[in-house]
Structure 1
Amino acid sequence: MNRLENKVVLITGGSGNIGATAAKMFVNEGAKVMLVDINEDALKETVKDIGKETSAYVVADVSDEQQAKKYVDETIKKFGTIDVFLDNAGIEGKVSPLDEYPLDEFNRVIDINVKGIYYGLRHVFPHMKKNGGSIVITSSVAGLQGTPNILPYVTSKHAVIGMMKSAALEGAPHKIRVNTINPSPVDNRMMRSLEEGFAPGKANNAKTSFEQSIPLGRYATNEEVAKLMLFLAGDDSEFITGTVNPIDGGMTV
């Protein structure tokens, strides 16, 4: 199928597990992709894997507004338009009680996970106003419930849901659709970090505990999350905007 034939897709967190998986899937559906990340070596490997004829990259810190403007400008310069924006970059932060949480780390999580999402929206919107488009923001089940000891992460994932809802209303007159995806724990690097954070030296025990909290009994995969992104990006979801979309194995039922 070519559900994204000739579409240009901008992906922040483009060399991360979910971002890179989505990029490859989108290219297979006919898209051209611009990948944004802070890790140039990882970006190079991702582009090599996908193919240079259908992908390019920009090294950028999404928490810096001028760098956000740069990655949007570079996408327009390279491909001429932006049809789909996966506003996907984010970090988990440390695991720590709220009254002991390092303030610099709190600020770093908010800068990347909230301000970084906004800066992307701010600079993509003027271009999408011309022809419409789809924006998919990566939130989390952590944006739908509380979790102890990762307060900044939970706060950030709640925040971007409100951001999405406001952006969806502002975008609708311009045929810009905006939605969030809200994954449960996903079997990738971020969860390895959190498992170790919650149970130092006993990460496997933490993984078992997390899996037991999911009715379907396992983590999501990168591919499953990317498939939801693909649906929301394409024309099959053309009447869907302003929605929160859990992909969580029943975790938030």
Structure 2
Amino acid sequence: MFRLDNKVAIVTGGASGIGLAISRLFAQQGAIVHIFEMNVDLAERETDLINANGGEAYFHQVDVSKQKDVKRMVDKIAKENTIDILVNNAGIAHVGTVETTIEEDFERVFNVNVKGTYNCLQAVIPYLKDKGGVILNVASIAATVGIPDRFAYSMSKGAVYTMTLQVAKDYLKHNIRCNSISPARVHTPFVDGFLKKTYPGKEKEMFDKLSKTQPIGRMAKPEEIGALAVYLCSDAAGFITGCDYLIDGGFVKLNN
């Protein structure tokens, strides 16, 4: 159950945080993983580790915000393999209200989180139409509930969520399933870097404080998000499309 044997999967932002957990677990479950990543050193190291542990992974330096770059790489992979799975995970965060979000930051978040998802969808879907496939978008609880000081980020994840619904609707007849997952706080290197930069000397205190904002009392582990991704992209989830899955420690429904 939940095997992905010989499935060819593209995972954007697949060398760190949630994306890395997805890449590792996909490979463990038998998928052939193509990682799209900008950080060359990190991606090469993590790809080598996956292969050393018996998986099969390949690294491609791709800026998902550049449509020509995405299409060129997807076309190259498709010439050699049948693409089965796309995971749109690449994304960046931003802290600020509408007043404190400058135009350059708004556009940067939009270009990676929204346009990047669109670019990958547009490039991959033509290769899925004839035989079906699975698309999984990484949204966020910020897509559906208000989070303080997350104006641009929430905008972008709301777009990811609604793109999920639209793709699921438009490609039902092509046997393409499209779902999204919406995590709350996940303990990734980004969180550690944010705390170190914003609260120097108080990292542990603030980590504990942020953890307790989740009703379950802790942040999620990247591997927990990855496990849900494995299920949704496996044949065991063949009756699921057009859904967003909260994986939030009770944040949305129980935080009152």
Contact 1:141–1:183 (CA under 8 A) maintained in structure 2? yes
Structure 1 unaligned regions, length at least 5: none
Deviation sequence 1:189-214 (CA, Å, 0-9, x none): 22224445765653434322322221
Q: CA deviation at 1:47?
A: 1.2
1:63 is aligned to 65
**In 2, Cα distance between equivalents of 1:234 and 1:210:** 33
1:182 is aligned to 182
Structure 2 unaligned regions, length at least 5: none
2:86 is aligned to 85
2:106 is aligned to 106
Q: CA deviation at 1:97?
A: 3.5
Which range moved further: 101-110 or 174-183? 101-110
Contact 1:7–1:83 (CA under 8 A) maintained in structure 2? yes
TM-score (norm 2): 0.92
Deviation sequence 1:92-125 (CA, Å, 0-9, x none): 12x2343122221111001100010011001111
**In 1, Cα distance between equivalents of 2:200 and 2:59:** 35
1:86 alignment partner AA: V
TM-score (norm 1): 0.93
The equivalences for 1:93-172 within 5 A come to 93=94, 95-172=95-172
SS in 2 for 1:130: coil
**In 1, Cα distance between equivalents of 2:197 and 2:92:** 14
2:51 alignment partner AA: G
Contact 1:58–1:74 (CA under 8 A) maintained in structure 2? no
Deviation sequence 1:155-180 (CA, Å, 0-9, x none): 11111111110000011110000000
Deviation sequence 1:26-81 (CA, Å, 0-9, x none): 11111111110111111111110111872212101100111110221122134x21
Count of matched residue positions in the alignment of Structure 1 and Structure 2: 251
**In 1, Cα distance between equivalents of 2:96 and 2:86:** 32
2:78 is aligned to 76
Which range moved further: 52-61 or 99-108? 52-61
2:250 is aligned to 250
